[in-house]
Structure 1
Amino acid sequence: MSDATPILHMLSPQKHMSPFDVNMAADAGYKVIVPYINVTLEEVTALTQDAIFSRPPNYGTRTGLFIGGKDAILALDMLDAAQKALVPPFGLSTFADPAGSFTTAAAMVACVERVLRTKFNRGWKGTKVAVFGATGVVGFASSIIAALEGAEVTLVAHRGVDRVIKSAEVSKERFGVDLIAKSGETLEQKQAIIADAEVVFAAAAAGVRVLSAEDLALAKNLLAVADVNAVPPAGVEGMELFMDGGELPGSKALGVGPLAIGDIKYKTESGLFKQMINSTEPVHFDFRAAFALARTLTA
């Protein structure tokens, strides 16, 4: 590993770079952190090559490029563009985590996996998962992670099924996973989906109630529920912020709350930044790498 100063270039397609991510990078050990805002996909190549050609090749492991924003597909496209822009032996490490969604999704799936393993002696293969908030960045990433692990994943639409159909199509095209798209716009449709599910990911917008006590009472097959919403009301009625495998009131299902997930999310994002700094070769991270690390933190 070079003794060169660790420098992180942080790209956002929005008008702000998340202070959360800046703080995480600084605490992980980056000494120079430069945010770039309103970055377009077309600008990524030039920015990446400016970063690599201005330092000797052996400084590449001490040069990082982080991609933020709030669009999962755009972040993945920017990550791909950055990697294609590298010209060996010049290189750098890359990490995409738009809206913190990739590390949050990884943490949620890993936390639920621990509950399934320790409480039910089972894994993801064949497990029926329903994802609420499926078109959001956390829902998108968590659905793909679970599907890649062998789960049968249903994307639930709360407002127009076309959007989740499109998300399923993109997931199939990019990652080879088969996701089911269903409408959950009516109470009857939603409860039918929940009644068939063994795991629910509640990844809807902050302050949106996804599952009520009545819904939970009808869900006889439900083993575990994860909720990333820390803003009242809870996404799942009866979910406690720090719940980590406790039984939900009025249900036999076990809950994983937002702050239990957040603890693993924090450690995952910090851990990936540290891996970038300490690696002897350039590394490249998306939600799959985040899940691989989150798994070790919940083992």
Structure 2
Amino acid sequence: MEKVSILHLITAAKNASPFDVNMAFDAGFDNIMPYTNVTLNEITGLVQDAIFSRSPSGIKREGIFIGGRDIDLAMDMFEAAQKSMFTPFEVSVFADPSGAFTTAAAMVAKVELHLKKHFQTDLQGKQVAVFGATGPVGGCAAVIAAKQGADVTLVAHRTLADVQQIAQHLNQRYSITLRAVDGMSEASKQAILATSDIALCTAAAGVRVIQISQFSGSANLKVIADVNAVAPSGAEGVEASADGARIADTAVLGIGALAIGNLKYKTQQQLLESMLIRAQPNAKATFLEFMAAFDVARALSAKV
């Protein structure tokens, strides 16, 4: 008798995300078991309980999903889960805290798609400014863009020292080079956008961080992507449904939250489904984080 498929959903948060639960069921998992308020030092015990309670063939029908709201803690848990297993007792692990990894992956993949489609170029050497970089999506998008060869700047809206600290931390952890700049005034934002090729808006919902007046005169700016689906948009002139549409009275292309969200949904679904594919003979466990999400988002966007 075939074992039922189980997704062990681990989060440091008080509650498991209903979004992730729905996605997992829709991807085909028979059962989803949430573990909440989990600490890092509990990961090994939970993972080993999961892998040793079934035979090597039985655990092919299991997967571990790591949620939460802290991308660093999620990556620490992800790495701890990997270290807790050994062949043939391995299950696939997918980390996507607050959907940040798949959202950031979709955002950068959409930008790359429109750079290639409209400007015959990619992210290599491009100047990328991230507005709202203190949040999980902004930090993750910055890392992904930097790993594609972009020169990435994190824009500070309140305290420059805090953003400098985030940049330093991400640089050390992911072996990249991010810079932090002051973006707290109209003039500073205008100066940043004048020299940027791409602006990524990842601020909190309903918070506008860029005005058309700040970028309409930029000769360099090519694309603005905004993940904010709650009015007002993070970037003025970027409609939520925009997918490469020109922003009014400018030469800049806009990518809105719905276009990014649609690709994010498809990316997460494919990654979850790939964990179930592992039930096939000779299939190996997969370990999925933000770069794996970017690879999938990039492939999916290329098919459109």
TM-score range, shorter chain: over 0.9
* 3-state SS in 1 of match to 2:229: coil
For 1:118, the equivalent position in structure 2 comes to 117
For 1:254, the equivalent position in structure 2 comes to 253
The C-alpha deviation readout for 1:53-105, integer Å capped at 9, x for no partner, is 00111223321111111111010001011111113321111011011000000
For 1:282, the equivalent position in structure 2 comes to 285
Q: List alignment gaps of at least 5 residues for structure 1.
A: none
For 2:184, the equivalent position in structure 1 comes to 185
For 1:38, the equivalent position in structure 2 comes to 37
Q: Is the 8 A contact 1:65 1:95 kept in 2?
A: yes
Q: Is the 8 A contact 1:60 1:282 kept in 2?
A: no
Q: How does 1:33-182 map to 2 (within 5 A)?
A: 33-182=32-181
In structure 2, C-alpha distance between the alignment counterparts of 1:94 and 1:156, rounded to whole Å: 32
The C-alpha deviation readout for 1:171-214, integer Å capped at 9, x for no partner, is 22221110111111122222211111110000000000011121
2:294 counterpart of 1:291: yes
* 3-state SS in 2 of match to 1:235: coil
For 2:13, the equivalent position in structure 1 comes to 14
Q: Is the 8 A contact 2:186 2:214 kept in 1?
A: no
* 3-state SS in 1 of match to 2:80: helix
What CA RMSD, in Å, does the superposition of the two structures yield over aligned residues? 1.1
Query: Following superposition, which runs of at least 4 residues in structure 1 exceed 3 angstroms of deviation?
Result: none
Q: List alignment gaps of at least 5 residues for structure 2.
A: none
Q: Name the amino acid aligned to 2:294.
A: F
Deviates further, 60-69 or 99-108? 60-69
* 3-state SS in 2 of match to 1:21: helix
How far apart are 1:165 and its partner, in Å? 1.5
How far apart are 1:3 and its partner, in Å? 4.3
Count of residue correspondences: 298
The C-alpha deviation readout for 1:206-249, integer Å capped at 9, x for no partner, is 00001112112132211000000000001111111111111001
* 3-state SS in 2 of match to 1:220: coil
Q: Name the amino acid aligned to 1:20.
A: F
For 2:208, the equivalent position in structure 1 comes to 209
Q: Taking every aligned residue pair, what percent have the same amino acid on both sides?
A: 49
* 3-state SS in 2 of match to 1:86: coil
In structure 1, C-alpha distance between the alignment counterparts of 2:288 and 2:114, rounded to whole Å: 26
Q: Is the 8 A contact 2:128 2:198 kept in 1?
A: yes
Q: Name the amino acid aligned to 2:263.
A: I
In structure 1, C-alpha distance between the alignment counterparts of 2:60 and 2:186, rounded to whole Å: 52
In structure 2, C-alpha distance between the alignment counterparts of 1:205 and 1:9, rounded to whole Å: 29
TM-score, structure 2 as length reference: 0.96
How far apart are 1:40 and its partner, in Å? 0.6
Q: Is the 8 A contact 1:213 1:250 kept in 2?
A: no
Q: Name the amino acid aligned to 2:145.
A: A
In structure 2, C-alpha distance between the alignment counterparts of 1:55 and 1:249, rounded to whole Å: 59
* 3-state SS in 2 of match to 1:218: coil
Q: Is the 8 A contact 1:60 1:93 kept in 2?
A: no
The C-alpha deviation readout for 1:139-167, integer Å capped at 9, x for no partner, is 01100101000001001111111222122
Q: Name the amino acid aligned to 2:183.
A: G
Q: Is the 8 A contact 1:30 1:277 kept in 2?
A: yes
